[in-house]
Structure 1
């Protein structure tokens, strides 16, 4: 991050210094987790639902932190006040510091900010962009799914004077969230992937989700670029909500709305390779065409690959370098179609970081495709271990019911529905296919694990898919390890969301002093 003194932090946040804060060294690192404190750290004492960061100020300073950002004074055992900048709201203050940081880096070092939103695919697209842009210059992108009002500032604070590209993932749980983040980082390129029904219950309907996601393109100026999914009708219409030029991406060669003056990125010849990875020809706005053979699993990733290609092209990356990078990249974040080949011949696909009807359907289609085999390999038995999808609102039962019917229609061999929320998946499968023992419902992940321990056989492919709260990602890890994994796609050891990432409505970034001239859906 940009080094900042306590006096500068107080000025930017509107806070005041206590405990001799102005005599402390400049900070060069920010964290909300006292366990990550090191020399030069600013520890943000963020109150949370379970614990209060103010209780860990002493531990953070003992670990090397030089300063705290806090909402009240904290004292040591002798009664001395710890050095801190006091503000009314530490999360709002983080946003002010992030806005100031981005403004400084843009004005003084030419930083380019790329923002990604959508109901599905944000993290994969962010990871792909980090790979493509990182080969061009120093690039900062979120750890895991840091995409809220805490996670986005923590991502920004990783950038410094050397950073050329900042990739920001933006999630939302209500209208105004993405607008808040956009006023924080002022994106130059904005990508909208899709509008799905994830968290429709919180938003009050899919129309409000589209309204929220469109806040990203509304925030772009005429000197920015909106990258929009032409295959999604709700996203396609967002061209009318932005002053920025538009680049559409999709699988067809022509824009669905030819009257809209927009460049286009598209794929032709899409097919799945033997391991279930998509292969296609990438067509870019300069008329060039390039083969892409992705290492991701599932045809649904074509849209994410096209989105990353479009944004990278807008950022000035050479076409052949875009295609080469997309072909070289595999999964970079945990629990997103993460494939493990066990030594006993069982294949585990762990996609249980998050779930909604759209991502569930894509994962099941991929499982079915993997199980069909190829000319050189036999068909394989397939297992779908499915947990509940949370926060769908009034369509919850209907959406789970549809999944159960889809499992049968795709001829997936075995279904294990886990948890009360997923019971309609089991019921619908029974009604659709009269499977008898082919479909099972269990109350817990432990019961599912017992079934798999006894019934998985060499050659089986097992998919784990659920919302994060169902915990099936951890079951998937245990099952992957049980057979002695022969190979697992590389991924970071952990990328859980920023602890305590939460939301407020609009923020005050217009008043923050600027330079002259964490699964959110």
Structure 2
């Protein structure tokens, strides 16, 4: 973070200085985990599900932080005390700091799926051309977003901001902290439809990104998604389109998938055309790559720089179509960071393509997709039916919430032991350990809360 005095911070967050001078300076990291606290930093005491950050203020003080942001005084520790909500104050602080960096270019993105992978791609494309802050993991909510923003310094040229949506107004709040010079909407799917009620409401919420683009900035929309393409009417700023549609300004043609499920295409930007071979598994990465290319175009990179960057970009975040070849010949594809119907369909198609190319037996190990509301049973049923239509050899469904996947596969024509259902992760692991053989390709996919990532990790560790 740029150096800021405690007096300035107190003014920005509407707090009271307790045990600290207004001239004391914060010039270290802003953290919410006392284990990460260090000299010159600021510790934000947030309440958690199991612990209260205020219990660790003393630990942060001992680690050398200049001050802690709290909602009550802590004896023996310098504090800035706010009277309501430390999370709100964290956002206020980030807004204040970003306001002191007028030369910073904020690139913000949202979408129902692909946000984190696209964020990683954008970071790899633009970081060679200026110091860039990229969110860690999936830091895209009211806590992760301001923490990312507070990593910006006077030498930072680009700040990438991934933004999630759970309700109307979320994007408006987050973009209020970091007003975007470039605002990107990837797609409108069914993720969080249980909270927002319909895809039209999801589009309404995600379109807040387009409305937030700063004067003189660029709004980027997906020409292949009609709900996203319609968002161009929600801004007076320049609009740039991407996709495979003929009218898209940043476009892919001649899309092909190689034997390892990796897409290749010709990148078209104006009169420029160049071949791109992605190092990512899944045809859906074409759209992510085009979105990243559109962002790079908006900030002034040349088409040659963009195509060169896409060709060498590699997966960064774990558990997103992460492929591991075990020494015993079994391939594990860990895509269990999160799941929704769109991303699960894409993952199944990639699994089928790899299986066909290798002549391998394929396994889809699937858990529940959360926050689908009244559509949940139908969406899970449809995934089971798709697995059968794609000729996935074995389907293993884990957890009661995902059982309609197994039922859908059975109704679609799965027979024998092609589809199986188990209640728990240990049961699934036992079955897989008994039945996997050399050459098998195993996809593991679920929403984060279903915890199938631990299953994928265990399958990888088995061979070590």
Which of the five TM-score ranges fits, normalised by the shorter chain?
over 0.9
State whether structure 2 residue 82 is matched by structure 1 residue 87.
yes
Pairwise CA distance, 1:236: 0.6
Question: Which residue does 1:172 correspond to in 2?
Answer: 165
Question: Which residue does 1:132 correspond to in 2?
Answer: 125
State whether structure 2 residue 98 is matched by structure 1 residue 102.
yes
Q: How does 1:19-418 map to 2 (within 5 A)?
A: 19-22=19-22, 24-75=24-75, 80=76, 82-88=77-83, 89-106=85-102, 110-255=103-248, 264-285=249-270, 287-373=271-357, 378-418=358-398
Contact conserved, 2:276 with 2:307, CA < 8 A, in 1? yes
Contact conserved, 1:67 with 1:84, CA < 8 A, in 2? yes
* 1:375-412, Cα deviation, whole Å (9 max, x unpaired): xxx41100000000111000100000000100100000
Contact conserved, 2:380 with 2:404, CA < 8 A, in 1? yes
Question: Which residue does 1:457 correspond to in 2?
Answer: 437
Question: Which residue does 1:259 correspond to in 2?
Answer: none
Q: Which whole-Å CA distance do the structure 2 matches of 1:73 and 1:55 have between them?
A: 12
Pairwise CA distance, 1:23: 6.2
Pairwise CA distance, 1:24: 4.2
Q: Give the TM-score normalised by structure 1.
A: 0.87
Q: Which whole-Å CA distance do the structure 2 matches of 1:247 and 1:188 have between them?
A: 13
SS of match in other structure, 2:224? coil
Q: Which whole-Å CA distance do the structure 1 matches of 2:23 and 2:287 have between them?
A: 52
The answer to which structure, 1 or 2, has the higher relative contact order (CA under 8 A, 6+ apart) is 1
Q: How does 1:493-512 map to 2 (within 5 A)?
A: none
Pairwise CA distance, 1:50: 2.2
Pairwise CA distance, 1:480: 1.4
Contact conserved, 1:253 with 1:267, CA < 8 A, in 2? no
Q: Which whole-Å CA distance do the structure 2 matches of 1:412 and 1:170 have between them?
A: 34
Pairwise CA distance, 1:254: 2.2
SS of match in other structure, 2:135? coil
Q: Which whole-Å CA distance do the structure 2 matches of 1:203 and 1:164 have between them?
A: 35
Contact conserved, 1:221 with 1:243, CA < 8 A, in 2? no
Contact conserved, 1:195 with 1:232, CA < 8 A, in 2? yes
Q: Which whole-Å CA distance do the structure 2 matches of 1:356 and 1:439 have between them?
A: 20
SS of match in other structure, 1:416? strand
Q: What is the CA RMSD across the aligned residues, in angstroms?
A: 1.1
Q: Which whole-Å CA distance do the structure 2 matches of 1:434 and 1:131 have between them?
A: 42
SS of match in other structure, 1:292? strand
SS of match in other structure, 2:3? coil
Q: Which whole-Å CA distance do the structure 2 matches of 1:25 and 1:102 have between them?
A: 17
Q: Which whole-Å CA distance do the structure 1 matches of 2:373 and 2:181 have between them?
A: 34
State whether structure 2 residue 4 is matched by structure 1 residue 11.
no
Pairwise CA distance, 1:25: 4.3
* 1:263-294, Cα deviation, whole Å (9 max, x unpaired): x1000110012211110110113x21111111
Pairwise CA distance, 1:341: 0.7
Contact conserved, 1:188 with 1:223, CA < 8 A, in 2? yes
Distance 1:434 1:269, change over 3 A: closer
Of 96-105 and 163-172, more deviation after overlay is shown by: 96-105
Q: Which whole-Å CA distance do the structure 2 matches of 1:332 and 1:320 have between them?
A: 23
Q: Which whole-Å CA distance do the structure 1 matches of 2:153 and 2:203 have between them?
A: 33
Distance 1:119 1:289, change over 3 A: same
* 1:201-253, Cα deviation, whole Å (9 max, x unpaired): 11122211110000000111341111100101110100111111111111133
Q: Give the TM-score normalised by structure 2.
A: 0.98
Contact conserved, 1:21 with 1:67, CA < 8 A, in 2? no
Unaligned runs of 5+ in 1: 256-263, 485-521
Q: Which whole-Å CA distance do the structure 2 matches of 1:24 and 1:240 have between them?
A: 47
